[in-house]
Amino acid sequence: MKYVLLLSFIINHLLGQDRMLEHSLVYNAQNKIEQDLKYLLHLPREYDQSDQVFPLVLFLHGAGERGDDLENVKIHGIPKLINEGRSFPFISIAPQCPKDGYWDRPEYVSTLISLIKTVMEERRVDPERVYGTGLSMGGLGTLAIAIKDPELFSAIIPICGGADLENIQRLNKLPMWIFHGDRDDVIPLDNSISIYQSLRSVNKNVFLTVYAGVYHDSWTETYENDGIYDWLLKFSK
């Protein structure tokens, strides 16, 4: 009897926790060779306890976390917080870019869009509440995806990134909160300022926060701020 109770306790304990699972998606790279895109899938603790649908958040890491070891994806941002025990009310996916890749390249943009749509088909995702965020190279990737498919996301949070201004008007209806440090010596603050200035007259839901005295790491303070998740999740299509 005590073993049954112990098993029941373990099952209930596991069901009461957020889960982060490792997966991969086969895709065609620019050289047309099939490759695996590894990614972390986070399911909130309520996922197995109900039939409800959940928001989906894509998190894109920076250039320093590229490679083939998913543990590196947990160094920053949402995966880091989940790994430390933080609970979130949404499904999240955090892919890992190959060591020589860049998220904003066309072949990766297409692959990431396919990944999002695959997870939407396989998991109970609310199609009206799909979001994107990323830091540094991931900020560039988040904006590149949104420009490629402006109807995909309900809102985005790009951090210390940038975008092709030639097509930035495609985002004139997408809620966006941009973050950058004013002393960033890796990706210029002007990247974020240019995006904000290009959109603010046509998009009432574009915002820019500039951290005074902060270098490239403008993501730690951002992702630890509960307010960004409240802001992100309030938008739906």
* Residue 199 lies inside a defined structural domain of this protein: yes
Q: What is the pLDDT of residues 120-169, one digit of tens each?
A: 999 999 999 999 999 999 999 999 999 999 999 999 999 999 999 999 99
In a domain, 209, yes or no: yes
Residue 82 placed within a domain: yes
pLDDT above 80 for 24: no
Is residue 29 predicted with pLDDT exceeding 60? no
Instruction: Assess if residue 7 is contained within a domain.
Output: no
Copy the structure tokens of residue 182.
Answer: 């004013």
Residues 84, 86, 87, 89, CA torsion sign: negative
CATH number of the domain encompassing residue 176: 3.40.50.1820
Q: Sheet containing 54-60: give its strands across.
A: 19-28, 34-43, 91-95, 54-60, 125-135, 155-159, 176-181, 206-211
Count: domains in the chain? 1
Q: How confident is the model at residue 22 (pLDDT cuts 50, 70, 90)?
A: confident
pLDDT-wise least confident of 31-35, 64-68, 128-132: 31-35
Structural domain boundaries, residue 72: 15-233
